[in-house]
């Protein structure tokens, strides 16, 4: 037992907050990963433009699938291993014998290939640099009592969600900070799972900081071997709080900074989509005027659509702009001759795709802005928010589902 109780106590006091600080860095990385996943909309293949990051969901198909070793299963990815049983016998000081059995891997291999994701339309998904969370275990096959084979695969026909970016060549894969992620979960499930991981990392960062300070105090008191009056046993809680508070404060501050950046980034994405939609307006007005000049009120409302300049102005005027845009998507029902106009059909489909992206980006902005507003208003995060001079962010009004896409 150490002669100086201050040394191990100091180790607890430094180690707990230090590990907590390292976990705060992990929280930051996990928060960014969650943001990258959340900002990508769930879109059908047909609406993708080059450079779009999105979640796609469909069935796996491949003309030249891989074959998983031993199991001979057609797949687009596999992880295979061959294991052998090892029996180890040990004898303790009292002469008692203990036998332990364990399986050791003697060979393993894994492969993945490009595949086609089919949701009614088809797109090639690149396996290079992909993060594969979609492997599913096959039943273990015992060749003998001491040799077995195990594998996990992504089989043909599997229903997957894939996060990635549409490339210049029309394929789908990783680009910059957006990974190519394969998972069997839905987009919502995967984003929630990432957010839960972030919450648990922050909890353990704070807990370890508190435990380090409290543990140091307890260790010192025990090592002192002194008759400590009961009031002094509150010391571990006080020291634990002192080591916990800086970690919590820094964590909340950093989260507010990241959240503020995400609010701005989410609005910038909304603004990009608003600008794209506004760019379609002049051509749409010209086409519709040629077939439905009597729709004067709708045309005036459509011509008034502009890209947002700031969050407050965009949120205030977006409800009317959305109503006008969606009314245009239904014009062919009142004016059937528009169906025969190839330019209108092209503009209609492009506007439909933009509206679908806008529905996601508005919702993403509202979700991030709502979390920001809650953290600014709630205690105790509100104390940190006041020092940062935070203000509430405006929200976009909700809207209903899109009209059906124009079909032949």
Pair 311, 395: CB distance under 8 Å: no
Residue 181, token pair as written in the block: 């992620």
CA dist., res. 145 & res. 130, Å (int): 36
Three-state SS letters, the chain: CCCCCHHHHHHHHHHHHHHHHHHHHHHHHHHHHHHHHHHCCECCHHHCCCCCEEEEEEEEECCCCEECCCCCCEEEEEEEEEEEEEEEEEECCCCCEEEEEEEEEEEEEEEECCEEEECCCEEEECCCCEEECCCEECCCEEEECCEEEEEEEEECCCEEEEEEEECCCCCEECECCECEEEECCCHHHHHHHHHHHHHHHHHHHHHHHHHHHHHHHHHHHHHHCCCCCHHHHHHHHHHHHHHHHHHHHHHHHHHHHHHHHHHHHHHHHHHHHHHHHHHHHHHHHHHHHHHCCCCHHHHHHHHCCCCCCCHHHHHHHHHHHHHHHHHHHCHHHHCHHHHHCHHHHHHHHHHHHHHHHHHHHHHHHHHHHHHHHHHHHCCCHHHHHHHCCCCCCCCCCCCCCCCCCCCC
Predicted local confidence at residue 402, as pLDDT: 43
Closest CA to 154 of 179, 136, 172: 136
The yes/no answer on whether domain 6-36+198-387 falls in CATH 1.20.1440.20 is yes
Q: Please report, in tens digits, the pLDDT of each residue of the chain (408 residues total).
A: 444 556 677 777 788 889 999 999 999 999 999 999 998 988 889 888 888 899 999 999 999 999 999 999 999 999 999 999 998 888 877 778 888 889 999 999 999 999 999 999 999 999 999 999 999 999 999 998 899 999 999 999 999 999 999 999 999 999 989 999 999 999 999 999 999 999 999 999 999 999 998 888 887 777 655 555 666 667 788 888 999 999 999 999 999 999 999 988 888 888 888 888 777 777 777 777 666 555 556 556 665 655 555 555 555 555 666 666 666 666 655 666 666 667 777 777 777 777 778 888 888 888 888 989 998 888 888 888 888 888 888 887 655 444 444 433
Residue 301, token pair as written in the block: 């409302």
Question: Any bridge partners for residue 212, and if so which?
Answer: none
Predicted local confidence at residue 81, as pLDDT: 96
pTM, two decimal places: 0.78
CATH 1.20.1440.20 location in the chain: 6-36+198-387
Predicted local confidence at residue 171, as pLDDT: 96
């Amino acid at each position: 037992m150490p002669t100086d109780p201050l040394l191990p106590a100091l180790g607890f006091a430094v180690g707990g907050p230090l590990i907590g600080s390292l976990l705060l860095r992990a929280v930051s990385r996990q928060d960014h990963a969650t943001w990258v996943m959340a900002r990508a909309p769930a879109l059908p293949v047909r609406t993708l433009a080059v450079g779009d990051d999105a979640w796609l969901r469909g069935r796996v198909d491949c003309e030249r699938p891989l074959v998983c070793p031993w199991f001979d299963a057609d797949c687009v990815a596999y992880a295979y291993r061959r294991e052998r049983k090892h029996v180890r016998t040990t004898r303790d000081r009292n002469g008692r014998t203990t036998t332990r059995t364990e399986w050791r891997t003697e060979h393993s291999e894994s492969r993945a290939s490009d595949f086609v994701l089919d949701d009614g339309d088809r797109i090639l998904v690149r396996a290079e640099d992909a993060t594969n969370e979609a492997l599913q275990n096959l039943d273990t096959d015992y060749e003998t009592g001491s040799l077995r084979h195990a594998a996990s695969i992504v089989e043909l026909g599997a229903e997957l969600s894939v996060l990635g970016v549409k490339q210049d060549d029309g394929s789908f894969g990783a680009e910059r900070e957006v990974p190519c992620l394969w998972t069997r979960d839905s987009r919502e499930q995967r984003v929630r799972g990432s957010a839960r991981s972030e919450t648990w990392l922050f909890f353990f960062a704070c807990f370890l900081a508190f435990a380090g300070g409290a543990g140091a105090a307890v260790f010192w008191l025990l090592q002192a071997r002194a008759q400590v009056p009961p009031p002094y046993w509150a010391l571990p809680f006080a020291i634990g709080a002192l080591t916990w508070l800086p970690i919590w404060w820094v964590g909340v501050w950093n989260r507010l900074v990241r959240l503020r950046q995400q609010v701005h980034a989410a609005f910038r994405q909304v603004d990009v989509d608003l600008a794209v939609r506004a760019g379609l307006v002049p051509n749409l007005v010209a086409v519709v005027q040629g077939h439905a000049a009597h729709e004067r009120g709708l045309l005036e409302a459509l011509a008034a659509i502009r890209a947002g300049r700031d969050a407050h102005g965009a949120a205030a005027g977006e409800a009317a702009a959305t109503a006008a845009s969606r009314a245009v998507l239904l014009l062919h029902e009142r004016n059937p001759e528009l169906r025969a106009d190839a330019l209108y059909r092209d503009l209609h489909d492009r506007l439909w795709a933009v509206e679908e992206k806008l529905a996601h980006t508005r919702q993403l902005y509202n979700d991030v802005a709502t979390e920001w507003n809650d953290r600014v208003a709630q205690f105790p995060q509100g104390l940190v928010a006041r020092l940062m001079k935070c203000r509430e962010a405006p929200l976009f009004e909700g809207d209903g589902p899109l009209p059906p896409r124009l079909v032949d």
